[in-house]
């Protein structure tokens, strides 16, 4: 069984992004971080989002393959014409 381990760096990056957007104030534990650390968190957030999008695209391709395989067994009825 796999346990969920929260990504604390991603949580910090999301907090930083929300504060940059003006949605909420920067948490007190992040008040004294340097600009270099902020840049690192933003790059980490972008990398995490890219990895998430890539995994979702792979999952979509997998599902599409399953539906294509199922579609071979279902006869095509043609377009439905109402009139």
pLDDT in tens, 20-36: 999 999 889 888 999 99
One-character DSSP codes across 16-57: HHHHHHTSSPPPGGGTT--HHHHHHHHHHHHHHHHHHHHHHH
Q: What is the mean pLDDT of residues 39-51?
A: 96
Q: H or E segment at 81?
A: none
Q: H or E segment at 73?
A: none
pLDDT digits (tens, 9 = 90+) for 47-60: 999 999 999 999 99
Global pTM reads 0.72
Token readout for 19 is 């504060």
| Dihedral sign for Cα atoms in the order 34, 39, 42, 47 | negative
pLDDT at site 78: 73
Residue ranges per domain, the chain?
9-22+33-71
């Amino acid at each position: 069984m796999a346990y969920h381990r929260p990504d604390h760096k991603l949580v910090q990056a999301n907090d930083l992004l929300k504060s940059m957007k003006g949605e909420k104030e920067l948490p007190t534990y992040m008040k004294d971080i340097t600009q270099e650390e902020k840049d690192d968190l933003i790059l980490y957030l972008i990398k995490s989002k890219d990895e998430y999008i890539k995994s979702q695209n792979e999952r979509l391709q997998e599902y599409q393959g399953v539906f294509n395989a199922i579609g071979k067994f279902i006869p095509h009825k043609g377009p439905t014409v109402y009139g």
